[in-house]
Amino acid sequence: MHIGFIGLGKMGKAIAGLLLGNGHELTVWNRSQEAVQELVAKGARAVSAPSALGKSDILLSILANDAATRSVFLDQGVLEAAHPGLIHINLATVSVGLAKELAELHRRRKIGYVAAPVFGRPDAAAAGKLNIVVAGDPASVSKAQPILETIGQKCWPVGAQPENANVVKIAGNFMIASAIETMGEAVALVRSHGVKADAFLDILTNTLFAAPVYKLYGGLIAAQTYKPAGFTAPLGLKDVRLALAAADESNVPMPFANVLRDSLMELIATGGADDDWAAVAKVAARRAGL
């Protein structure tokens, strides 16, 4: 089985490395060559243009955003080169709008299309511990399943429309951002009354909020350690904007998402473009003069 892989950012490298480690043969393409060489060193083959991967049986892609996805699949001709029967598994977080458009374009060309955005950071990816939200026509999903099970610890099917998986991923990232802002505001409140952030967060994240998201980001907020960023403010803002764009399409008011957009924009506009998105807690504190 020929497996193609497009997009070797942090997440892409980890996933491609995992597949190679599991004995899969992989042909890879990436815009910058450095990452390609890393994977070649681990046994991957490389091609010089992404369209060369149109002959694969399975084509995985995980590009940074809508623009990169559009550029590679539409402008650089991957879709045009794809043979009918190919299954494209898109692991990236793209907009609901692009997800619908891609679904339609694949359908017309009789190419299988599976949206499979992932929850998890690069270390989870390298360990095969991702949670994968999966949507697409059942036949394609079924063919994608073995690969997805290699990549993730669990697949969560959410229907036959690929965009379903994307809206779930986008809504999930909105929930993470909300958890961060919530802690930021709560910490500003308790600090203004003389309670230390870590004393407060220690209680909550070990009882009612004993969940990975709260422990991870609660730790960053308590320590006020926002660099180096695991996930930068601009990336977080991009994801919040995806939520707002999806909400715009169907007229869904999301007042929390508005607050998140404003907090992240303020963070970026006031010097925090390199900070982890957890630094919205810093914005909450600054607004209170803390």
Strands 118-119 and 130-136, bridge-based pairing: antiparallel
The answer to whether 229 touches 274, Cβ cutoff 8 Å, is yes
- Rounded CA-CA distance 214/217 in Å is 5
Question: Among residues 64, 74, 105, 259, which is the contact residue for its own copies, using CB under 8 A?
Answer: 259
| Residue with tokens 């991702």, as numbered in its chain | 130
| Residue 70 burial (CB count, 10 A) | 16
- Of 140 and 263, nearer to its own copies (C-beta) is 263
Contact between 167 and its own copies by CB under 8 A: the answer reads: yes
Strands (E), 137-265: 152-157
Which member of 261, 277, 278, 281 binds its own copies (CB under 8 A)?
261
Query: Mask 63-102, x = binds its own copies (CB under 8 A)?
Result: ---------------------------------x------
Residue among 100 and 109 whose Cβ is closer to its own copies: 100
Q: Considering the complex, what minimum distance in angstroms separates the CB of residue 231 from its own copies? A: 13
CB of 33 or CB of 224, closer to its own copies:
224
Tell how many helices (H) and how many strands (E) occur in the chain: 13, 9
**Which tokens in the block code for residue 152?**
């993730």
176 binds its own copies (CB under 8 A): yes
* Among the listed residues 211, 223, 224, 225, the single contact to its own copies using CB under 8 A: 211
- Nearest approach in angstroms of CB 176 to its own copies is 7
Of the candidates 11, 16, 42, the residue with the CA atom closest to the CA atom of residue 29: 16
Instruction: Write out the binding residues for its own copies, residues 213-242 only, by CB under 8 A.
Output: 213-214, 241
Q: SS3 for 172?
A: helix
Active site residue 55: no
Give catalytic residues, as residue numbers.
Answer: 169
